[in-house]
Amino acid sequence: GENVEQHPSTLSVQEGDSAVIKCTYSDSASNYFPWYKQELGKRPQLIIDIRSNVGEKKDQRIAVTLNKTAKHFSLHITETQPEDSAVYFCAASKKTGANNLFFGTGTRLTVIP
Amino acid sequence: NAGVTQTPKFRILKIGQSMTLQCAQDMNHNYMYWYRQDPGMGLKLIYYSVGAGITDKGEVPNGYNVSRSTTEDFPLRLELAAPSQTSVYFCASSHEGEDSPLHFGNGTRLTVT
């Protein structure tokens, strides 16, 4: 099956700085890569996703890049704010008829005011 | 529109006991999923369903059973609880399509002692 690795496991940044989280995947057939944010004690929520026919996608302060050749993708958060503090999960899936996501182990981001 | 509703929120079981985790969604999603989340780990897929009457195993199905008699409900059954099943369980649903966003419930925190 798919194996998704995520780094770093923890990340602390000063408010206003940028944060970058990186993931690699093993299955070259994977073609959908979402990112989920999970605040403490809450449910994971989708924040951005990218498909394999796109190299980069941006939504306000959040961007995701994908390198299919190297099988890695990254989440970039600019101008970080305290409310960005959460655990972020990357995931990967391929065309199987259902959205069977394989998740990374998560990155705990702390934004220091 | 309540989204995905899980019950109970918390439960403590003794080894060998059984229980059913309930999940219901009101978004008319055909696809439903059960994930477990262990501390410091990503979410692992237990079972999924692409429609009423159809279920399939995910990454970690051992020790669990599911049924899907209606579009709305997708209960997860633990027959003989073991300490290794101590985890947070998330139910999710989505529309058809391998890149449709997952909508998660609030989770059930289960402890087996």
Is a pLDDT exceeding 90 seen at residue B78? yes
Is a pLDDT exceeding 90 seen at residue A20? yes
Strands A107-112 and A10-14: parallel
DSSP code for B73 = B
Is a pLDDT exceeding 70 seen at residue A95? no
Q: What percent of chain B has pLDDT over 90?
A: 85
Cβ contact, residue pair B43, A96, below 8 Å? no
Cβ neighbors of A46 (< 8 A, separation 6 or more) are A34, A35, A36, B101, B102
Q: What percent of chain A has pLDDT over 70?
A: 96
Is a pLDDT exceeding 90 seen at residue A110? yes
Closest to A47 in 3D by CA, of A29, A59, A31 = A59
| Nearest-angstrom CA–CA distance, A107 and B6 | 25
CB-based contact B87:B60 (threshold 8 Å):
no
CB-based contact A84:A66 (threshold 8 Å):
no
Residue B12: pLDDT band by 50, 70, 90 thresholds?
very high
Closest to A101 in 3D by CA, of B78, B86, B42 = B42
CB-based contact B28:B12 (threshold 8 Å):
no
Is a pLDDT exceeding 90 seen at residue A58? yes
| Nearest-angstrom CA–CA distance, A20 and A18 | 7
| Nearest-angstrom CA–CA distance, B6 and B47 | 16
Q: What percent of chain B has pLDDT over 70?
A: 99
Is a pLDDT exceeding 90 seen at residue A111? yes
Cβ contact, residue pair A43, B90, below 8 Å? yes
DSSP code for B101 = P
Q: Which pLDDT score is estimated for A23?
A: 98
Cβ contact, residue pair A99, B97, below 8 Å? yes
Cβ contact, residue pair A96, B98, below 8 Å? yes
Cβ neighbors of B81 (< 8 A, separation 6 or more) are B13, B14, B15, B16, B17, B18, B19, B112
Both tokens assigned to B70: 């209606």
Q: Which of residues 25-84 of A touch B (CB under 8 A)?
A: 31-32, 34, 42-46, 49, 51
For residue B105, CA distances in Å to A91, B93, B95 come to 18, 9, 15
